[in-house]
Amino acid sequence: MSDYLDPNNEELLNDFFEEAQLQIDLLEQNILVLEDRYDDKDAVDELFRAAHTLKGAAATVQMNELAEFTHSLEDVLDMVRSGDIVVDEQGVDVFLSAIDIIKAMIESREEGNVYQDSDIADVKKDLVMIMKGNFSKPATKSAKTTQVAASKPAKIPQAKALPTASKQQTRITDEYEYLELFEIGGKDKTIYEIIVKFNEDTLMNTVGGIQVYTILKRVGTVLKTEPDFEDLNEDIFHPEVIYYIASTEDLDVIEDQLDISDVITSSEILVLEKDGFPADQDDGYNSGAEVFESDDEVEEVFQDDDETDETPVVAVKKKSEPKAPKAAKVSTSILRVESRRIDNLLNMVSESVINKSTINRISTDLAETLAEIQTFSSNFEYELRSFVDTIPDLLRQLDGSANQKDLLAKYRDRFDGIFSELHLYENNFKKNITDLKNTAQKLSINTGNLQEGIMKIRMVPVSNIFSRFPRLVRDLSHSLSKKVNLVLEGEDTELDKSVIEDLLDPLIHCVRNSVDHGIEQPDVRRSAGKPDEGTVVLKASNEGSMIIIEIVDDGAGINKERVKRKAIEKGLIKPDVSISDNDVYNLLFLPGFSTADNVTDVSGRGVGMDVVKTQIEKLKGSITVTSTEGQGTKFSIRLPLTLSIIQGLLVKVGSEIYSIPVTNVVDSHRVSPGDINFVDNYEVFNVREEVIFVVRLHKLFNIPSYEESTHKYIVIVSSGDKKMGLVVDALIGEEDVVIKPLKDDFSNTPGIAGATILGDGKVSLIVDVSRLLELGATKHMESKREMETKLNV
């Protein structure tokens, strides 16, 4: 196509995919709006615009299959827009499946393939059905038919123009008409007759007539056109148009203006003389062979066009043969960032540049001081040496009972200068140290801001993923014949992009669960005194450095007894154990657990909630569920804002320093060895009437803890609703730590989430609290079981 558009222009392609996704989201959202109100005009306009934009973009990156498909979608939407057809439920379904195809097309392109599937034909047929089914007027609105219409009637004016005059002769056949031109044109103006032949091969070939009209209007007054203005304004291609204008400009100027080479094939300008109307017009009608020849040429052109120009999109297709599929999937991880955020960052960077120059100044100051001290010290050395040299002499002088006072004064004078110099240096140092302290303070504020600013860049609103749910819930409720109203809240809440991407699947699962298991059938709801329509709320909110996402439904709630029964059946718990409500709910997250009696394709295969849980935990988050029977269920997901930087509590274990994520830390205690008790062979610790199971980190990680000091520290950590105490040698303090993932062989070390580099360059391992709790718990269980079997034997 065009030379600059290299199909390997990845930057452009990435932009395209990004934008396509936006448009698809728009399409989907608005179709769902349309489903509620079939006559929502704004939604239709938006839909049309999105389809249109998508089509344009697709054609540019030579995604012809998509361009063609969206084109037919656009046709239908156009008819909806003009009110020719009305969308009904069936229509919405067809639109949605059309969007699915568009998605599939984009997906396969991203993978480097071209989408080829028979679905297209089916959906296209449906689209056409919509057009025909409710359609009364002739289909002139569709661009496809317009094209046909454009090329056929086009021959008629040609036939009219058949009596072509030989050159330099006016086409006007009526003398009265001829004279009328001079009448309206005005006396002091030249009347021109301009015959323009248009190129049919340009895109939008029907626009040319008007384009020339507007150009000529700039140089003079357009008196008359043939065919007349109304016809030019119709969507019909006229191969030849004659303009009559009155102008004061020279012929050259007009000719120059008409230089629109790709639209016009030729133009001919005649100057009409007032009394120059040819007497024998009849000649014009019979100029014979020449005329027919030219007509043949035109015929040929038309035939050509019939082959190539069915629709504009097909024409494009011809030029670009499908390329060899690209092997690598084009990565589309592009972040859209508000420019304000980057401006902020720039501000901070300039601040840090100022800090840098302050530090530079301090360091030059210090270097100068050092040089001065060096000269001073060599001076001092010299003075001292010469003083030592004078000692024997001095002693002799003292022996000779010289005046002690005089001597003292002499030497004081000698060393006073040196002392005052020393004072100067001291002051210099003091000043530099104050400066340095100030700058360090500024720098720490500055880097803090910078860190926050950069984190903000990675923040995207959750609406990015929330926007997929209306469609999901709609489809789901249809297939389950339930009535569900999805409410989205807090869509502006922002989360790190990497978190958001991994959050989608777990969220989908939870929402599906709510719709499938939570919300009851309308008749069941009615008899329970609830409205037919169930409500599912998907809500995001901020809480400190955590994001809370809640999925709340007003459905049947969780039947605790059934959960317990199921758990016993599956051997997950013992029948006689009494467990708390919370623990009952947590059973749902165990692998292989499902209370659904029938496996549907929506959920209930038991591969669900445990996967959700592991995924959330991978994101350093936690998930809990609460429920009231008969009233509904609430899933709460807590997530850290970002994964890459956490607040860590630095603790000392032996000679090593470990970081414990502050979000997991409940509190810490200074304890003497006596405070730790033994229960069942386990070390436990009592905090406010709660017994907490204790683990010594140095034992866990096999570190010699040589400091058998009298006091230890216990850091109480929690994840979800489990708690545990970690025994460490000392607490160092809180610090922001940047998590570096551990590679290869170390990546599976249980209990270690990663490493970080401390201010002094030392490496500190980050404790993975949730994993540790799991380990502790399973160990606990195992040994308990062992004990029990021992006792039984």
Partner 1 sequence: MKSKTDFPNINQKKAEGMSPDGVPFRVLVVDDSMFVTKQITQILNSEGFEVVATACDGGEGVEKYKELYPNLDLVTMDITMPKMDGVTALEKIIEFDADAKVIMISALGKQDLVKKSLLLGAKNYIVKPLDRKKVLERLLMALK
Contacts with partner 1, residue ranges (CB under 8 A)? 1-5, 12, 15-16, 19, 46, 49, 52-53, 55-57, 59-60, 74, 143, 146, 203-204, 206-207, 210-211, 213-214, 233, 235, 259-262, 312, 316
Least CB distance to partner 1 at residue 232 (A): 8
Tell me the backbone φ, ψ of residue 200, rounded to 5 degrees: -80, -15
Q: 320 or 600: whose CB is closer to partner 1?
A: 320
Of 717, 716, 734, the residue nearest 646 (C-alpha):
734
Q: 56 or 531: whose CB is closer to partner 1?
A: 56
> How many angstroms from the chain centroid is the CA of residue 249?
56
Least CB distance to partner 1 at residue 69 (A): 15
232-269 residues labelled b (16+ CB within 10 A) or e (exposed): beeebbbbbbbbbbbbebeeeebeeebebeebbeebeb
Least CB distance to partner 1 at residue 316 (A): 7
Least CB distance to partner 1 at residue 93 (A): 26
Q: 30 or 439: whose CB is closer to partner 1?
A: 30
Q: 216 or 507: whose CB is closer to partner 1?
A: 216
Least CB distance to partner 1 at residue 250 (A): 16
Least CB distance to partner 1 at residue 241 (A): 13
Angle, CA 312 vertex, CA 306 and CA 316 arms, to 5° = 105
Three-state SS at 218? helix
Q: How many CA atoms lie within 13 A of 509 on its CB side?
A: 21
Q: 342 or 487: whose CB is closer to partner 1?
A: 342
Q: 19 or 300: whose CB is closer to partner 1?
A: 19
Least CB distance to partner 1 at residue 205 (A): 9
The two tokens of residue 384 are 């001292």
Q: ω before 157 within 30° of 0 (cis)?
A: no
The two tokens of residue 166 are 């030989």
300-324 residues labelled b (16+ CB within 10 A) or e (exposed): eebeebeeebebbbbbbbeeeeeee
Q: 4 or 678: whose CB is closer to partner 1?
A: 4
- Whole-angstrom distance, CA of residue 551 vs CA of residue 280: 89
- Whole-angstrom distance, CA of residue 631 vs CA of residue 129: 44
Least CB distance to partner 1 at residue 64 (A): 10
Q: 203 or 324: whose CB is closer to partner 1?
A: 203
Of 211, 188, 210, 209, the residue nearest 197 (C-alpha):
209
Of 734, 740, 717, the residue nearest 643 (C-alpha):
740
Extended beta strands in 251-364, E state: 264-272
Least CB distance to partner 1 at residue 263 (A): 9
Least CB distance to partner 1 at residue 314 (A): 12
Q: How many residues does the chain have?
A: 793
> How many angstroms from the chain centroid is the CA of residue 638?
21
- Whole-angstrom distance, CA of residue 120 vs CA of residue 70: 11
Amino acid at 11: E
Do the Cβ atoms of 190 and 246 come closer than 8 Å? yes
Least CB distance to partner 1 at residue 42 (A): 10
Tell me the backbone φ, ψ of residue 755, rounded to 5 degrees: -135, 165
Q: 60 or 397: whose CB is closer to partner 1?
A: 60
- Whole-angstrom distance, CA of residue 164 vs CA of residue 286: 9
Least CB distance to partner 1 at residue 8 (A): 15
Q: 12 or 537: whose CB is closer to partner 1?
A: 12
- Whole-angstrom distance, CA of residue 596 vs CA of residue 399: 113
For the CA atoms of 787, 788, 792, 793, the dihedral, rounded to the nearest 10 degrees, stands at -30
The set of residues, in sequence order, having a beta carbon less than 8 Å from that of 276 and lying 6+ positions away, is: 170
Tell me the backbone φ, ψ of residue 514, rounded to 5 degrees: -65, -45
The two tokens of residue 651 are 């603790």
Q: 82 or 614: whose CB is closer to partner 1?
A: 82
- Whole-angstrom distance, CA of residue 110 vs CA of residue 104: 10
Least CB distance to partner 1 at residue 235 (A): 5
- Whole-angstrom distance, CA of residue 651 vs CA of residue 666: 15
Q: 47 or 563: whose CB is closer to partner 1?
A: 47
CB atoms within 10 A of CB 636: 15
Q: 144 or 723: whose CB is closer to partner 1?
A: 144
Least CB distance to partner 1 at residue 2 (A): 4
Least CB distance to partner 1 at residue 143 (A): 4
Q: 150 or 767: whose CB is closer to partner 1?
A: 150
Q: 262 or 416: whose CB is closer to partner 1?
A: 262
Dihedral sign from CA coordinates of 682, 686, 690, 694:
negative
Do the Cβ atoms of 750 and 700 come closer than 8 Å? no
What secondary structure letter does DSSP report for 740?
Answer: B
- Whole-angstrom distance, CA of residue 716 vs CA of residue 693: 10
